[in-house]
Structure 1
Amino acid sequence: MASIRSKQPSDCIIGRHPTATCFAKDICKEYLKLAKRLQKLQPRPHQRRTRNLARPKYVTPKKLPATSSNSNYSRKADIIRELPSLTRTEQLAYPRVRKILPIREDFKDVLGAGRVQVLSRTMRKSLFSLYSRLANCQPPEEKMIIEKWTKKEWAVHRRYLSKLAQPKKIFKPLKAVHMWKDISIMDRFKYLCKPKDRSEHIVPKWELTSGLKKYKPTPIIINLSKPKETNENLFHQTLPIKINPGALQYKATDRILQLATRAEKRTGESILKENPFSVAPNALKAKPSDRVVELSQPKEYEEGHVRQNPFMISPAALKAKPTTRIIELSQPKGSS
């Protein structure tokens, strides 16, 4: 307490923030009053006893703990009061962030941690209010300080501007360099320009020319012209033919013997009956069911599209009452 009283109002603020001398004395006085009040509120021994007795024995929490579904514990429904939502006037009453921010930054060391937290809380509430969100209000950003250019940077920039100020050069178009010869010199184009010959190709008769008389075959052609030598022993086996000893000791199974026998072919006479119009004795003894009798009867078709009496008048036509328009149309022309 003595340390608080020894400090003068001018020592705590002046020197750090010269602009805050206008209300520095009032802040220090309020701070001393709060310190005295806090000293009086310290509990005495008899007051501690009364405060301990004043505490409730059973405290019900605001949020009920989660219970398992298998537990047999039953609890009555508790009423939990929720905080009322802020009204329109309360949300509009929050101060602007741009007004609180410079105060918090300038007097951060003077106000203390508690008051700085209060200012930060009000700024947060103001930013997250309904009307701030609708207006898309953002916290103020620090201004970027643009550094000035030096003389060297200005000299480089002037050179670049002088280069851009010069007129654009117009270059002459380059001549196309062709890698091929003139068409009049090339024999291939002359050959391709000729019309296509569509006459039938006639193979000339073979004649012994002077080139063939002087031709000398190469050793590869001489080797290819020789006939292929085949071993005749591969096609003719010597007698007696050797048989595998395993085949001599083999015993055929019943299935192989069955497959080895020749299948008997059925003739057409066995399929034909002696009397094709004869009825089986079981068919004569059979008794048809109700469903078979029903299906055996022919289906009756009603001829709805043909009238039995084409000149009969329908009963509805006999009861019909003609309108004035029909009577007018029914009279022959020129009768009126």
Structure 2
Amino acid sequence: MGKPKYDIPTATFPYKISKRLNILSVPRRYIIDTGEGMPAINPRGIRQSALRGVISDRVNDAAWPYVRRFLLTKRAYKNKFSEERLERINRMIEATNVTCYAKLANCVLDLKKQDTKDMKKKRGWTESEWKKHMDYIGQIAGPRREFKPPPLKRGECKPLEKLLPRIKNISMLPEFKWYRRLSKEAWYRDPIKVPPNALKYVISDRVKKLATPRVIPQAE
């Protein structure tokens, strides 16, 4: 890239600006659509070119409804529509199958394949099916099994004479402890009262020496 070129400051814009920014800053001219040169419009408001135009294949494919909608319509009005109208719906389904959207969605419908729901007929059970059914009924009709818990394993039996001492011991009332205050106990010592031996105590010289406070030297 080369060096950017700048325009010289002018009286209206006394600043240095690059030429590209100066060109981009010029406002664009507004285009007013007057309709000159456009195709004519018919009284209904549709342009003549739109009526004479040819639709592309992609737009034509996108205009077809989904195959599922055709099937729902066909099943809902199968007994109400005439054969001619049902044939017309089948043609529309065939036209929808050709589109690329139906192939990409993997929803192409084969009309030659008959509907299995309509062709299915009610039939009776065969002997093998009846046999399976009766075997199942006999299986569930039997009495319900009772799952009893296993018996408890107990110890050896003892005569009543050997059990009476233990029974008497258990049947007696327990001895409850009698809680008293601490001051009522024999070992309690009142902290307020001074022992009598302490009043007769004679202090020794060694204890006096240890009890005297130390002399703190003063700073000179």
TM-score range, shorter chain: under 0.3
Larger Rg: 1
Q: TM-score, normalised by structure 1?
A: 0.18
